[in-house]
Amino acid sequence: MAQMTMIQAITDALRTELKNDENVLVFGEDVGQNGGVFRATEGLQKEFGEDRVFDTPLAESGIGGLAFGLSIQGFRPVPEIQFFGFVYEAMDAINGQMARLRYRSGDTQHAPVTIRSPFGGGVHTPELHADSLEGLVAQQPGLKVVIPSTPYDAKGLLISAIRDNDPVVYLEHMKLYRSFRGEVPEEEYTIDIGKADVKREGSDVTLVAYGAMVHACLKAAEELEKNGVQAEVIDLRTVMPIDLETIVQSVEKTNRVVVVQEAQRQAGLASYIVSQIQERAILHLEAPILTVAAPDTVYAFTQAEEVWLPNYNDIIEKVDKVINF
Amino acid sequence: MKRVLENVENQFETFQILDEQGKIVNEDAMPDLSDDELKEIMHRMVYTRILDQRSIALNRQGRLGFYAPTAGQEASQLGTQYALEKEDFILPGYRDVPPIIWHGLPLYQAFLFSRGHYHGNQMPEGVNALSPQIIIGAQYIQTAGVALGMKKRGKKSVALTYTGDGGTSQGDFYEGINFAGAYSAPAIFVVQNNRFAISVPVEKQTAAKTLAQKAVAAGIEGIQVDGMDVLAVYAATKAARERAVSGEGPTLIETLTYRYGPHTMAGDDPTRYRTEELDNEWEKRDPIVRFRKFLENKGIWSEEEENKIIEQAKEEIKAAIKKADEQPKQKVSDLISNMYEELPAHLQEQLEEYKAKESK
């Protein structure tokens, strides 16, 4: 075991897969010699050569097309979109093309692509760097969408994503890159895509979250415990497909749910999760399912992040409401 | 300050070998093709013209679905494909069904593509092509990727793609040629300039005098070819292929061509935006008429031979439509099964739901 930040765990996963499979290719803007704008690919070009880890021209759509075409030639591309706010440039390449390849070819072609991309607020980035756009990709049949919240999950999920034979969008929350260290095994391991993780057990209310909001939930749960409320925190880890089984099991036990996301209320995955819980577990509910989300405005100007982003106080407020309903 | 536009545009003269009377006007550029190969090219062009006529008729009878007419573009579509090898990969646009048929896609599957059946898109093993791309420009960036893949594998093959004149205005068009250039990837980018993107004439796409000169922005070779001259199209593609496999990077080929029919069979009416004079002018340049004269002058083509091909085409089309009719209908469970290698839980659930419905 080693103590790693999430970004180190990501680099470690990339190194593991570059070593394991010669078809793995890592490419994007500044991922080569520079080692990535966040150092996620630090040292990889030196270790594996320019043929495996390389820079691209500055064009996200072209990067998507490159990944698609390399898949056709039997490679396992791991492209990077520098910030997920730039995904609009590559929307056709991802949602319109690689997500559909297996289906449109009648299962004769496939795109084993893992698109890595940072997102997420709280680190004072300029415009269109921090936006939570996971909802856009999660609505596209043919994709899987993974969002880790810990170094341990980040490594195991990235290895699984790269080995998956269908396209995976792997979103890395910038605030979680270096904010804490965690235990990460040095050897390779995988975590199943589509499996949630109960990060804290509780009996009074279920908090369903992903990304940075997992940590906000854990902090809220600590506060709530002081008032005698035991919150169970489910980290989805994969937001498409969603592990409904784990959520429903928890709801059957706690009978109360708050779904928490950093994205705006009209975006993200919370609405889908709420609808699935009501279809599958309405008779177990003692209160309506509430959600914590950002206001339905464009992502906040840098200086307004603090008042705009959802935080643990917002979660506590909603938990109080469902407990006292 | 120097003005360069005129100098740049002078670099892109139209490359021609065969004139409208079927005479060789550029002996030096004449490709090395045997009589049998020349006849094979003619065979394919005649066959494809019949295929177009029959496809329009079958579409009108409701026996085909989406169809984008190809008459007029035989030299452009087949001259390019004929210069390829089997291991080369084609990324066609929605109008480029003939090139992938001649690359190996069975005719009945091309008809299933038209109708909207997934089996139409299941390329047989060893047929190096994708099914026709509907998003204009997407095939260009994908081609850069396929070509880079070939280069990394050390293959001596190329990726070839097509778009139209309108498609050159897309971002993906430019990104595709620019990426291929930056990686010196073995790609051939064909622009079939038939002068109209649905109703919009090429003059409204760009102020550039030629489309071939757009290659300059990517720093790659560009050539403008008489797209009604199959020998010129073949020679240009062959030369681009040779450069690509010897590591000299991609080429952009503009073929000056024309579609005699409408944009698609979905209600487009070219008389709304095209004059009869223009149609007549381009009919004089018909690639089949021109090549027929050339072959007849050489004494290697006859009316009898041509009629035989027409009959063969009609027979094969009939058989292919029959085979398409016999294809089992698609079920939702088929569509679900084709989504992922391993179905996620929600789709597994839906698969069971639909299988239960289908077994009733």
Give yes or no for a contact between B121 and B134, defined as CB atoms under 8 angstroms apart: no
In chain B, which residues have their Cβ closer than 8 Å to the Cβ of A57? 175, 178-179, 182
Express as a percent the part of chain A with pLDDT over 90. Answer: 100
Average pLDDT, integer, range A87-102: 98
Q: What pLDDT does B3 receive?
A: 85
Pair of tokens at residue B37: 């190969």
Among this protein's residues, is B263 annotated catalytic? yes
**A294: pLDDT confidence band, cut at 50, 70 and 90?**
very high
Contact assignment for B131 to A104 by CB distance below 8 Å: yes
Q: What is the pLDDT of residue A147?
A: 98
pLDDT given for residue A1 in this prediction = 83
- Which of B157, B58, B336, B351 lies closest to A73 in space, CA to CA? B157
Contacts of A110 in chain B (CB under 8 A): 341
Look at A104 and B118 and tell me if their CB atoms are within 8 Å: yes
Cβ–Cβ below 8 Å for B145 and A107: no
Q: Do B179 and A142 touch (CB under 8 A)?
A: no
Helices first, then strands: H and E counts in chain A: 12, 14
Nearest to B118 among A68, A93, A106 (CB): A106
Distance of CA B16 to the CA centre of its chain: 20
Beta bridge partners of residue B14, listed in sequence order? B224
For residue A298, give every residue at least 6 positions away whose Cβ sits within 8 Å of its Cβ, in sequence order, or none: none
Q: Once rounded to an integer, what is the mean pLDDT over residues A164-190?
A: 98
Q: By the 8 A CB rule, do B194 and B258 touch?
A: yes
DSSP reduced 3-state for B90: strand
pLDDT at A187: 96
What number of C-beta contacts closer than 8 Å exist between A and B?
135
The greatest distance separating any two alpha carbons of chain A, rounded to the nearest whole angstrom, comes to 60
Q: Which residues of B touch A245 (CB under 8 A)?
A: 345
Please name the member of B143, B339, B346 whose beta carbon is closest to the beta carbon of A142. B339
Q: Flag residues of chain B having pLDDT under 70.
A: none
Q: Which residues of A touch B330 (CB under 8 A)?
A: none
For residues A76 and A23, give the distance between their C-alpha atoms in angstroms, rounded to a whole number: 5
In this prediction, residue B166 carries a pLDDT of 98
pLDDT for B1: 76
Measured CB to CB, residues of chain A less than 8 Å from chain B are 25, 51, 56-57, 59, 61-62, 64-75, 92-93, 96-97, 102-110, 141-142, 144, 164-166, 194, 240-245
Which residues face B162 on adjacent strands? B190
| Mutation target among A73, A139, A146, A269 for the B interface, most CBs of B within 10 A | A73
A57 contacts B182? CB cut-off 8 A: yes
Return the exposure string of A61-71: e unless at least 16 CB atoms fall within 10 Å of the residue's CB, then b: bbbbbbbbbbb
Per-residue pLDDT reduced to its tens digit, A6-19: 999 999 999 999 99
Please give the residue of chain A at the shortest CA–CA distance from B128.
Answer: A72
CB B252 within 8 A of CB B214: yes
B273 is catalytic: yes
Residue from A251, A246, A257 nearest A192 by CA: A246
Per-residue pLDDT tens over the stretch A129-164: 999 999 999 999 999 999 999 999 999 999 999 999
Cα distances (Å, whole numbers) of residue A198 to A10, A152, A209, A270, A293: 22, 14, 10, 18, 21
Cα gap B62→A87, rounded to integer Å: 40
Sign for the CA dihedral angle at B85, B86, B91, B94 comes to positive
Residue B95 pLDDT: 97
Q: For residue A48, what are its two tokens?
A: 């594996």
Looking at B215-259, which runs of residues are DSSP E strands?
A: 221-226, 251-256
Other beta carbons less than 10 A from residue A88's beta carbon: 14
Q: What is the pLDDT of residue A102?
A: 98
Q: Reduced to 3 states, what is the DSSP secondary structure of residue B33?
A: coil
Nearest alpha-carbon partner for A178 in A28, A1, A8, A3: A8
Q: Is B182 on the interface with A (CB under 8 A)?
A: yes
Spot the catalytic one: B263, B274, B285, B290.
B263
For range A314-320, the mean pLDDT: 98
